[in-house]
Chains A and B, each alone.
Chain A
Amino acid sequence: MSVSFTRREAWRNRFLILPSVLLLAAFVVYPAGFAVYTSLTNEALSGPAAMNPRFVGFANYAKLLTDQNFWRSLAITFWFVLFSAIIGQLVLGLLSAMLLNRRFALRPLVNAIILMPNAVPEVVAALMWASMLAAGEYGTLNNIVAWFGVDPQRWLTSFPLTMIIIVNIWRGIGFAMILMTSGLSSISDELYEAARMDGANTSQIFRRITLPLLVPTIFLYLLVSTVSTIAIFGLVFALTRGGPAGSTELVGIYIYNQSFNSYQLGYGSAVAVVVLVFSLLVGMLYVRALKVDV
């Protein structure tokens, strides 16, 4: 190939990625950079700092270290991610993928039931669950448990974290199932037949063939779902606003509350930057752990 052809090709390729580069720069890189800058100031939405924001160095980060509410929200986020994304969605997504790999009469219906939550806008989903979990005898769930003789519960007050974990599992199974289905379909039927001929029973086939061959898919799923669940906001905010008493204040909600309820934009930005670094670390860990092709 001639030098001029190669050079022309290189220019054409740069031209092709230009729109993406511009959009990413405008809506991701610039805001992120601005957040880093803001986190180093005492920018606020009211008070003297709003008039004259000052550069404060790492003061916001120093304050973070001793902020009990920040550590509490990190802990809540950890449990939320662990139980809803890593355990709940993954296990149920894998189970439903395996179930739907078989043929049975109600398959399209089950498929729709699992995928629908993913298609509903998150605020709509949250409002549905607000009605479902409403306290008092008119709440849908209270009506259901009443058949079993259980007294009406204040679900979102008594078990707030458990409830948002359940809601998030419900919403995320579909995505996990789609990924797991694609992982399962890449395992050839002949492998299962060979394993049967070798004398493996159903559970041995699952443990020794299916699961090891799904590991790359599972890691890919964990990468995507961990990072997106750390950043979750709308679903939980619409349902609980982080309450009661901060018990569902995920780190995303904490950032919002600090920035727009306490008006401390600089401090909120510092939390956001820490979470960004944290997500990057988790992502790198997964990618390293299994050299997943992302």
Chain B
Amino acid sequence: MRHQSILEYARFRWFKAALVLSALAGFAYLWHEPALKPYGGTLLGYGLGTVGAVLILWLAWFGVRKRRYGSRAGTVQGWLSAHVYLGTALLVVATLHTGFELGWNLHTLAYVLMVATVASGFYGTYVYLSVPGLMTANRGDETLEAMVLKIADLDDEIRAKALSLPDAILKAVNASLDRSRLGGSFLRIVTGRDADCPTAAAVRDLPEIGKQLSGEAAKLNHEVYTLLLQKNELLGRARRDLRYKAKLDLWLFVHVPLAIALLAALAAHVVVVFLYW
């Protein structure tokens, strides 16, 4: 079975639904002749606002649904597909609900939070569609755990072989053994780099130092260097893996808090509108 992305789910069922919803909202907006000008308080405005609010609650419910592994209400794939497309339609519905009336107020805050949430969702969709492929290609048939184990294995091997090498080389090798690290800080995880990685430094410096060696020492040095190269390559791939994983995660750190803040703003917006009707 061909792989189907969430965008193509069920032959674009939710894309069509979102298109219909947006078109309906658009036509209603064009057809409607409000008393003064279009805004959220006209009959159509209330209608669009209700649809928008229900959409927001339903979209937020996705956060619950995706954790309910026992739920039989559709598939999570279907839910995500609908989440993406109906979230996009919400942009249309809510914008028409505003009647393009924006200002420095709670109501526009709710709108801006909604737009920001949807925008971060767009980025998340892009990430979800593009990163997994890169991740697979980067991992090959290894898992991150295997890479880490391999690096640890290489470390043992290097440690055993490097003992008899000259001090200058041993120093560089030991730095790699003792200080090479993976992840550990937000910046290193997110960038997938380690600016002062001792392994990279050793790989860079070893050939130059090893030039003076000869005979058995040179051979040993070459072997250590080969192992260091492997380690360095593994480290690079592992770090890239961390970065990809972080990319998959990071946008949610924006999307979710924005969505939750939006729920507060939406509730306040609805109550206030009717409090000062």
| B and A form one assembly | no
A-binding residues in B (CB < 8 A): none
B-binding residues in A (CB < 8 A): none
